[in-house]
């Protein structure tokens, strides 16, 4: 997150919840996004080796789904969408054109209003 976006979010939320609560939540979300990034990388490699099966067959699926549920609990559909965009930005130029995010996009089906 850029500094100005962080500051904007901080200025909006911290006065309501307090600095410590905001920073704990911010750290928690960053940890989840980092874990999701790792899981998506691993799932892509595993999927390539195993013919890209349905999302539920990936060994990363249960944890990816838990993370999606946590993002939904914290920030609803918008939070889920933002977290996946963050993962895509963090991966930057890493993924080849055929990089597959289906373990998250399909794995989160049925969480709130998420639709692949």
Report the alpha-carbon distance of residue 28 to residue 11 in Å, rounded: 18
pLDDT for 47-70, tens place per residue?
A: 989 998 988 999 999 999 999 999
Nearest 5°: the CA angle 75, 81, 84 is: 115
Q: Which of 83, 76, 73 is nearest to 36 (CA)?
A: 83
Surface-to-core class of residue 6, CB atoms within 10 Å of its CB (0-12 exposed, 13-18 middle, 19+ buried): exposed
Give the model confidence (pLDDT) of 71-81 as tens digits: 999 889 988 99
The pLDDT score that the predictor gives to residue 17 is: 85
- Give the global pTM: 0.83
Residue 59: the pLDDT is: 96
Asked whether residue 89 carries a pLDDT value surpassing 90, the answer given is: no
- Residue-wise pLDDT tens digits, 103-116: 888 899 999 999 88
């Amino acid at each position: 997150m850029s500094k100005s976006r962080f500051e904007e979010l901080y200025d909006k939320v911290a006065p309501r919840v307090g600095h410590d609560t905001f920073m704990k939540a911010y750290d928690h979300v960053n940890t989840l996004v980092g874990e999701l990034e790792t899981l998506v990388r691993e799932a892509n490699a595993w999927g390539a080796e195993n013919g890209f099966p349905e999302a539920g067959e990936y060994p990363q699926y249960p944890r990816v789904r838990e993370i999606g549920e946590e993002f939904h609990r914290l920030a609803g559909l918008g939070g889920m969408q933002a977290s996946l965009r963050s993962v895509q930005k963090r991966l930057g130029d890493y993924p080849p054109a055929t990089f597959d995010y289906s373990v998250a996009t399909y794995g989160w089906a049925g969480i709130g209003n998420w639709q692949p």
